[in-house]
Amino acid sequence: MSAKTTNLPVFPLDLFLLPGGITRLRIFEPRYLKMVGLASQLGGFVISSNKQNINQAYRWGSWVEVINFEQGKDGVLEIDVECGCLVKLSKLEQDNDKLLFADVEQRKHWSQKTSNTELALLADSLKTLFENNELLGKLYHDQLPNNPYWTVSRWLELLPIPFDVKNKFVFDSSYTEAKKLVHSIISQ
C-alpha cells in the first residue's frame, strides 16, 4: 500500500474485511472492470460497505490489492484481493462512469499486531474450517499464523454476524471485545 496514493476507486460492497483478510470477487460491470484496471496503477482500491452513510463522520473501508485474477468458468473475471489496511474515507465523488472515488487516510488497527499468545480453540477451529472449505483453503494456503489477532480477524470476517455489530470492531481499541464475541460464538 503506497502512502503517496490518496485518491482511490471505491467498490461499494457489504463485505467486512480486515487487514490480512483475503476474498474472491466476481467483476462484470464495466465501471468495476475499469476499477480493477486502475488498481494496478494506483496500488489497489477500497471496499466499503453500502450500509454506511456516505456523509457519516467516520466512513471506513478496506484498502485491498489484487493478488490473483482469472476468468471463471462462465467467463466472468474473478479476482482475489487482500486487505493491507483500513482507511478512513473522505471527499467521495463519482466519475462519468459512476465509479466512486475517495481520498483515503490509513488507520491503525489491532489486526495488524502480532503476538505469540495462542487461542487454541479459535485457532484449531479456524484451521479445521479452512481445511474443510475448498475456496478458503485456496485463498489462505500457507497463511495460518499462530497469531491471536489474525485468528480473531478471520473469524470476524467469516461469522454470520450483522454488519452493524462487526462495524464496532474497526477501531484500534476494540480487540478485547472482538475476541470475547468470537470466543462466545465458537465455544458454543
Residue 117 is predicted with a pLDDT of 80
Half-sphere exposure of 167 (CA within 13 A, CB side): 15
pLDDT at residue 32 is higher than 90 = yes
Backbone angles phi, psi at 100, to 5 degrees: -85, 140
Backbone angles phi, psi at 132, to 5 degrees: -95, 0
Residue 63 is predicted with a pLDDT of 97
Backbone angles phi, psi at 64, to 5 degrees: -115, 155
Mean pLDDT of the region 30-35: 95
Three-state DSSP at 26 gives strand
Mean pLDDT of the region 145-151: 87
**What is the distance between the alpha carbons of residues 89 and 104, in angstroms, rounded to a whole number?**
5
Instruction: Annotate 95-152 with DSSP letters as a single string.
Output: -TT--EEEEEEEE--GGG-------HHHHHHHHHHHHH-HHHHHHTTT---S-HHHHH
Residue 5 is predicted with a pLDDT of 47
Residue 176 is predicted with a pLDDT of 93
Q: Return the HEC string of 51-95.
A: CCCCCCCCEEEEEEEEEEEEECCCCCEEEEEEEEEEEEEEEEEEC
Residue 52 is predicted with a pLDDT of 58
CATH no. of 7-107 = 2.30.130.40
Residue 56 is predicted with a pLDDT of 54
Residues of the chain within CATH 1.10.4060 domain(s) are 111-186
Q: Model-level pTM?
A: 0.88
Mean pLDDT of the region 24-50: 94
- Please, what is the average pLDDT of the chain? 89
**Rounded to a whole number, what is the largest CA-CA distance in the chain?**
51
**What is the distance between the alpha carbons of residues 157 and 133, in angstroms, rounded to a whole number?**
15
- In the structure, what pLDDT confidence band is assigned to residue 1 with cuts at 50, 70 and 90? low
In percent, the amount of the chain with pLDDT more than 70 equals 92
Residue 83 is predicted with a pLDDT of 97
Residues of the chain within CATH 2.30.130.40 domain(s) are 7-107
pLDDT in tens, 102-127: 999 999 999 999 887 878 889 899 98
CB-count burial class (<10 Å; 0-12, 13-18, 19+) for 117: exposed
Yes or no: say if 10 and 61 are a contact pair by the CB < 8 Å rule: yes
pLDDT in tens, 38-55: 999 999 999 998 765 555
**What is the distance between the alpha carbons of residues 51 and 34, in angstroms, rounded to a whole number?**
23
pLDDT at residue 146 is higher than 90 = no
Class of domain 111-186 (CATH, top level):
mainly alpha
